[in-house]
């Protein structure tokens, strides 16, 4: 049985999705928050999961907080640590301690739009698709090896709220899947930083948003060419 510790700072809807998925061969050993008022702690308690607070405001430095957080995590001997809306930038020492067993989800198709305000930035950039990424955490913010991504269309009339709702629904699908793959031992990271999923054949089909007109033929041109 694999031990999983989940870190939250707020409601923790991705934490809820993982708990409700009931990943075979895994147990959620604890939910830990840096905020005593995090709603995710209530959900954990209601579901019989130890709910723990390590308040970052109680520590003079980020390093001191991360050491205390790691101590609380390690008390549960985790095989996997899952960041589910944990709104703290972690120190390099902390990330190294959990290297290869620390997952995060980010609301964009990384490497596009790392950091905050991803939906606003996607709309401002005029992209046709947006989405979410589960990745292994490294010291470089939002730059770790990609495990799985989900793509959603950006629709006419979208604003940050409507786009975020569409992306969040996909987050709730792909995060439990990534956790399941980890628990099953099907993930590995190659020397080039790519994640391999063992026992899965990738499809070769491509798709576009908006969809191509099948009657239009191939009108593609290289950038910067044409009369």
Reading the block at residue 77, the tokens are 């001997």
| Per-residue model confidence as pLDDT tens digits over 116-166 | 999 999 999 999 999 999 999 999 999 999 999 999 999 999 999 999 999
Is the pLDDT confidence value at 194 over 90?
yes
**DSSP result, 101-153:** SEEEEESSSTTSS-SS-HHHHHHHHT-SEEEEEEEE--SSTT-SPEEEEEEEE
DSSP classification of residue 199? T
| pTM listed for this prediction | 0.90
Which option is the CATH number for 2-197: 3.40.50.170, 3.40.50.2300, 3.40.30.10, 1.10.40.30? 3.40.50.170
At residue 203 the predicted structure's pLDDT band, cuts being 50, 70 and 90, is low
- Identify the residue with better confidence: 44 or 191: 44
Report the pLDDT value the prediction gives residue 219, as an integer from 0 to 100.
Answer: 41
Does position 68 have pLDDT exceeding 60, yes or no?
A: yes
Alpha-carbon span 15 to 196, nearest angstrom:
24
Which amino acids are annotated catalytic? 106
Band of the pLDDT at 204, cuts 50, 70, 90? Answer: low
Over 80: is that where the pLDDT of 187 sits? Answer: yes
Considering only residues 217 and 7, tell me which one the structure prediction assigns the higher pLDDT. 7
Over residues 83-106, the mean pLDDT reads: 97
- pLDDT score for 216: 52
């Amino acid at each position: 049985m694999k031990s999983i510790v989940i870190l939250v700072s707020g409601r923790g809807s991705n934490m809820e999705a993982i708990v409700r998925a009931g990943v075979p061969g895994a147990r959620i050993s604890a939910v830990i928050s840096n905020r005593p008022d995090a709603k995710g702690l209530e959900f954990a308690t209601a579901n019989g999961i130890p709910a723990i607070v390590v308040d970052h405001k109680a520590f003079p430095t980020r390093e001191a907080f991360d050491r205390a957080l790691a101590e609380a995590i390690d008390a549960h001997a985790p095989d996997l640590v899952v960041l589910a809306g944990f709104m703290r930038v972690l120190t390099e020492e902390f990330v190294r301690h959990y290297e290869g067993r620390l997952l995060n989800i980010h609301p964009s198709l990384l490497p596009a739009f790392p950091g905050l305000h991803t939906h606003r930035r996607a709309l401002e950039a005029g992209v046709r698709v947006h989405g979410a990424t589960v990745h292994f955490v490294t010291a470089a913010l939002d730059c770790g090896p990609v495990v799985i991504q989900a793509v959603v269309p950006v629709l006419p009339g979208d604003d940050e709220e409507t786009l975020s709702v569409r992306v969040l629904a996909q987050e709730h699908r792909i995060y439990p899947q990534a956790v399941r793959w980890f628990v099953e031992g099907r993930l590995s990271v190659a020397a080039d930083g790519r994640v391999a999923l063992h026992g899965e054949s990738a499809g070769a089909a491509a798709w576009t948003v908006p969809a191509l007109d099948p009657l239009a033929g191939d009108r593609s041109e290289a950038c910067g060419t044409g009369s």
